[in-house]
Amino acid sequence: MLQRTQAPHIFSPIEFEFKLQPLLTRQLDNGIPLHYISDNIEPVLQLELVFPAGQWFESQNGIAQATAALLKSGTSTMTSFEINAAFEQYGASIKAGAGSDWTSITVSCLTKHLSKVLPLVADLLTDTQFPQSEIDLYIQNAKQRLSVQLKKGDFIANRKIDEFLFGIKHPYGKYMQYHDYDAITQQALLLHLKTYYTASNCNLFLAGTFAESDILCINTYLGSTVWNQTNILPSPTYSLNPESVKKHRIVNDAESVQGAIRIASDFPEKTHPDFTPMIVLNTLFGGYFGSRLMSNIREEKGYTYGIHSYMYNNKHNGVYMISTEAGKEVCEATIQEIYSEMELLKTELVSDEELTLVKNYLLGNILGDLDGSFQNIQRWKNLILNGFTEDRFKNNIQTYKTITAEKLMELAQKYYNPELFYELVVY
């Protein structure tokens, strides 16, 4: 019987046992791995196709993102308007986007309409023609967006800090300019599509409500033939060419009343043993609303509305970043406060109370992220694409639960040294 006079026991997330929903994997007839989780809660599903086809693999600036953006631009039998109408007819959505390393195509629909939606998806992958009129419209819109964004200090800061860290010719350090859009051609788009959007280069992730017949349907439309080029291309390699000068002040708008601050250093990739424990230290430092940077620079000093620190999610080269915008007259003071907070973490042990709060925050977020098959498949996807097994997830949880103040101080002494950081303010 419910006892309304007694408060329920409050559990700390540290007390919970964390488990991913079991993942099943099978190969389609053409060799594509299909990873799937079924929960049979609502009659909907989500199918995501992931290709290593991001900026790291593009032959010219912007071609990876343009290929994804123009995937629905038209096939040999359907216009862009007809393609969108066909998906809308079944209440389905398809979204494509290219990042630094990966291109992802996500299809969401009612389970009962999967057999109607998949032929459309297959056509886009194998028969997209990239009509010149659609390319021209994309270029026109992209240039207009760029002209607006170039007036914003935070946009310039994000571009320049990556250039300083990696070099302008590195995939993670380059950025789009007007002439790059003019160089986008139908031939280049078709080449990128046929080279990287291939059966031999694809991982499929399926979640939601589906039956064996739905998996067979996926095999029929995506797994029965080896579509596009069949050879698996080696991942290209690039050399870092960081800027030798580490402190930069740029005036982008003389009338601006604030500055965009970026403080960043290179950082190990996810495979490094320090990556997971640094998530804890970063959360405490600037990774959530109750962090030290927020408490000092926003709440106490009032220099900014928000300040955050984070690690880049790149596959090949990591970055540690502190990002904020502050009033022009307090930008330098803000930078000094950032370094002061670094120094405190290097010299003073974090209290048990603060460390427990951060652990509960991290673990509580993970509990929320494990609610349902859609969230679980994203966890599995990140593991698989980075070459990890479920043990990585278990070890991460154990680290979050058991990490000590002494370990955090050791990490701070290793990574929070001002001389390691590039420092940029764009006014």
- Round the average pLDDT of the chain to a whole number and report it: 95
Structure tokens at 332: 């330098």
Question: Does the structure show a pLDDT above 90 at 424?
Answer: yes
Confidence of residue 7 (pLDDT cuts 50, 70, 90): confident
DSSP secondary structure, 198-236, as one string: SGGG-EEEEEES--HHHHHHHIIIIISS--S--S-PPPP
Q: Mention every residue, 6+ apart, whose C-beta is less than 8 A from residue 353.
A: none
Render pLDDT for 267-278 as a digit per residue (tens, 0 to 9): 999 999 999 999
29 within 8 A of 380, measured Cβ to Cβ: no
Query: What is the per-residue pLDDT across 115-127, written as a single tens digit (0 to 9) for each?
Result: 999 999 999 999 9
Bridge-based pairing of strands 247-250 and 422-426 is parallel
Burial status of residue 228 (CB atoms within 10 A of its CB: 0-12, 13-18, 19 or more): middle
Asked if pLDDT for residue 331 goes beyond 70, the answer is: yes
CATH architecture assignment, domain 247-426:
2-Layer Sandwich (3.30)
| Paired tokens of 174 | 């380059």
What is the second-level CATH architecture of the domain 19-223? 2-Layer Sandwich (3.30)
Residue 1: predicted pLDDT? 62
- Give per-residue pLDDT as tens, 258-316: 999 999 999 999 999 999 999 999 999 999 999 999 999 999 999 999 999 999 989 99
Beta bridge partners of 75: 128
Q: Render 274-319 in DSSP notation, one character per residue.
A: THHHHHHHHIIIIISTTSHHIIIIIIIS---S-EEEEE---SSSEE
Residues ≥6 apart with Cβ < 8 Å to 224: 28, 29, 30
pLDDT, position 40: 87
Q: What's the rounded mean pLDDT across residues 13-36?
A: 93
Residue 233, pLDDT > 90, answer: no
Instruction: Report the DSSP pairing between strands 318-327 and 203-208.
Output: unpaired
Which pLDDT tens digit goes with each residue over 174-197? Answer: 999 999 999 999 999 999 999 999
Residue 57: both structure tokens together:
């693999």
Mean pLDDT score, 101-123: 98
DSSP letter (8 states) at residue 74 = B
What does the pLDDT average to over 405-413?
A: 98
Quick one: which of 206, 190, 191 has its CA closest to 34? 206
What does the pLDDT look like over 239-253, one tens digit per residue?
Answer: 999 999 999 999 999
Of 329, 331, 350, residue with least CA distance to 260:
331
Element of type H or E holding 322: strand 318-327
In the chain, CATH 3.30.830.10 sits at: 19-223, 247-426
Closest CA to 415 of 263, 304, 298: 263
Confidence of residue 368 (pLDDT cuts 50, 70, 90): confident
β-partners of residue 103 are 51, 98
Q: Tokens 């389970």 sit at which residue?
A: 111
Tokens standing for residue 185: 């051609």
Q: Is 92 helix (H, G, I), strand (E, B) or coil?
A: coil
- Averaged pLDDT for residues 17-45: 95
Residue 254 to residue 245: CA distance in whole angstroms? 23
pTM of the model: 0.92
CB-CB contact of 111 with 44 (8 Å): yes
Give the pLDDT confidence score for residue 13 in this predicted structure.
74
Q: How far is Cα 52 from Cα 196, in angstroms, rounded to an integer?
A: 7
pLDDT band (50, 70, 90) for residue 44: very high
